[in-house]
């Protein structure tokens, strides 16, 4: 299946879950469960050929959407986490198939990956600033 | 020895939630996604936040295929393991999306390993 379609589905489901949980303040469980239930009914009905895969992708991203606001403060964070979920889902389609919790594990790995990228970027930025300051002080001395 | 009532509640809820999801999934033929969604929505409406989280997390174990959890008895065992993992890892990685699924995957894999060992 088209990987772009999988990533777009993941982004839509992840962001919807995040929005229901944090902006509408309905809680992570209700947000994820309602997105999962809706995707399980809607996708196979409207997309008979691809729906069975897309509903699983949406459920997987909805588990990622349960991330707390502390770890993903903005919708952009959620978009990036969901995109990683879509990508990982495509890569690991055959791994541990049939094991309950596989989708949540993909979601958790994606969250950690995005937090890692963010923290690395922050650390690199701090290092550049301190390097710039030390050089500036050197010039004045 | 004292028995913590809260922990017993979690174990019972996890076991029940997994078994119910497994029945909805395999016996009623709703499939894992709809079964999990239904249990999650019901739990969110009927239970306080923390217990709803326990029910939703353990329902992930019930999403396992028949190749992993071939009988209701093994589903009950998987739910019990999920409850134990939830109790022992409450504060680890709180707020990470997918933590519940990882917990469930651990419980499902342990159950599969034990059932494979016992034949």
Give per-residue pLDDT as tens, A65-119.
Answer: 999 999 999 999 999 999 999 999 999 888 878 888 889 999 999 999 999 999 9
Domain that holds residue A84: 3-140
Q: Would you place residue A131 in the very low, low, confident or very high pLDDT band (cuts 50, 70, 90)?
A: confident
Question: Over pLDDT 90: what percentage of chain A?
Answer: 74
Q: Would you place residue B90 in the very low, low, confident or very high pLDDT band (cuts 50, 70, 90)?
A: confident
Residues of B whose CB is below 8 A from A83: none
Residues of A whose CB is below 8 A from B105: 96, 99-102, 104-105
Residues of A whose CB is below 8 A from B44: 26-27, 29-30, 33
Average pLDDT, chain B: 90
- Tell me the three state secondary structure of residue B12: helix
CB contact under 8 A, B33 and A56: yes
CA distance A73 to A78: 8
Nearest to A66 among B45, B69, B97 (CB): B97
CB contact under 8 A, B93 and A108: yes
Interchain CB contact of B52 with A (< 8 Å): yes
CB-based contact B106:B64 (threshold 8 Å)? no
Q: Where are the beta strands (DSSP E) in chain A?
A: none
Chain A residues near any Cβ of chain B (below 8 Å): 26-30, 32-41, 55-56, 59, 63-68, 70-72, 81, 96-112
User: How far is the alpha carbon of A109 from chain B, nearest alpha carbon, in Å?
Assistant: 8
Res. A25: pLDDT tops 60: yes
CA distance A139 to B76: 70
Residues of A whose CB is below 8 A from B97: 28, 63-67, 71-72, 81, 107-108, 110-111
Chain A CA closest to residue B55: A29
Q: Say how many domains are in chain B.
A: 1
Res. A132: pLDDT tops 80: no
Res. B2: pLDDT tops 70: no
How distant is the alpha carbon of residue B117 from its chain centre? 21
Q: Between A and B, how many CB-CB pairs are < 8 A?
A: 153
A22, A90, A138, B36, B44 from B79: Cα distances, Å: 29, 28, 63, 14, 18
* Lowest mean pLDDT across A13-22, A63-72, A126-135, B44-53: A126-135
Average pLDDT, chain A: 90
Q: Would you place residue A1 in the very low, low, confident or very high pLDDT band (cuts 50, 70, 90)?
A: low
Give me the pLDDT at residue B85, please.
Answer: 92
**Complex prediction ipTM:** 0.89
Domain that holds residue B68: 5-118
Average pLDDT in the B32-60 region? 93
Res. B62: pLDDT tops 80: yes
More confident residue, B30 or B93: B30
User: How far is the alpha carbon of A96 from chain B, nearest alpha carbon, in Å?
Assistant: 9
Residues of A whose CB is below 8 A from B39: 33
Compute the C-alpha angle A6/A12/A17, nearest 5°: 125
């Amino acid at each position: 299946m088209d990987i772009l379609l999988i990533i777009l589905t993941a982004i839509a489901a992840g962001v919807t879950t995040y929005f229901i949980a944090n902006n509408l303040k309905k809680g992570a469980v209700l947000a994820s469960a309602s997105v999962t239930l809706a995707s399980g009914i809607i996708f196979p009905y409207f997309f008979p050929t691809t729906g069975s895969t897309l509903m699983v992708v949406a459920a997987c991203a909805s588990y990622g959407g349960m991330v707390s606001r502390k770890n993903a403060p903005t919708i952009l964070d959620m978009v990036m986490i969901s995109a990683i979920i879509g990508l990982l889902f495509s890569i690991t389609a055959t791994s541990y198939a049939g094991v309950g919790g596989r989708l949540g594990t993909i979601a958790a790995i994606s969250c950690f990956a995005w937090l890692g990228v963010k923290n690395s970027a922050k650390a690199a930025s701090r290092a550049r600033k301190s390097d710039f300051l030390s050089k500036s002080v050197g010039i004045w001395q | 020895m004292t028995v913590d009532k809260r922990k017993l509640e979690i174990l019972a809820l996890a076991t029940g939630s997994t078994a119910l999801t497994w029945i909805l999934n395999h016996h009623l033929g709703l499939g894992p996604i709809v079964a999990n969604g239904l249990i999650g929505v019901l739990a969110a409406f009927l239970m306080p936040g923390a217990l709803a989280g326990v029910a939703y997390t353990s329902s992930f174990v019930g999403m396992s295929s028949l190749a992993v959890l071939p009988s209701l008895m093994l589903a009950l065992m998987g739910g019990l393991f999920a409850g134990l993992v939830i109790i022992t890892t409450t504060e680890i990685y709180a707020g990470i999306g997918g933590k519940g699924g990882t917990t469930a995957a651990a419980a499902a894999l342990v159950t599969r390993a034990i059932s494979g060992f016992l034949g």
